[in-house]
Amino acid sequence: NAGVTQTPKFRILKIGQSMTLQCTQDMNHNYMYWYRQDPGMGLKLIYYSVGAGITDKGEVPNGYNVSRSTTEDFPLRLELAAPSQTSVYFCASSYSGESNQPQHFGDGTRLSIL
């Protein structure tokens, strides 16, 4: 049972470069989320999606873009990497958007911008 899979696990970027963080889930969950976790901090919501073709901004969306062309995939794109985007990124999914649903997390992508 793969659950939520994120690639890559680690990446170093130079300032101004772009990259896409991949996230795929095999649980047929409609709701997907991207978070960033800065050192010593909790998770901050970047973007979320309630289904294929529908995305919306979270708490800290600036500098990021997302797309949701299929139920399974929810990639996160950084267009012009900045040092402030150095963080650990987590993708998560849940079966529904009900507030009682726990989220299932991927293993994270550790991204450094130098």
Binding site for other proteins (CB under 8 A): 31, 33, 40-43, 45, 48, 50, 56, 58, 88, 90, 92, 94, 96-108, 110
Minimal distance, residue 4 CB to other proteins, in Å: 9
The three-state DSSP-derived secondary structure of 2-58 is CCEEEECCEEEECCCCCEEEEEEECCCCCEEEEEEECCCCCEEEEEEEEECCEEEEC
State which residue, 8 or 16, has the beta carbon closest to other proteins.
8
State which residue, 96 or 112, has the beta carbon closest to other proteins.
96
Minimal distance, residue 74 CB to other proteins, in Å: 13
State which residue, 9 or 77, has the beta carbon closest to other proteins.
9
Minimal distance, residue 100 CB to other proteins, in Å: 5
φ/ψ region of 74 (left if φ > 0, alpha if ψ in -120 to 50, else beta) reads beta
State which residue, 33 or 64, has the beta carbon closest to other proteins.
33
Minimal distance, residue 14 CB to other proteins, in Å: 24
In the DSSP assignment, the letter for residue 106 is -
Cβ pair 18, 77 in contact under 8 A? yes
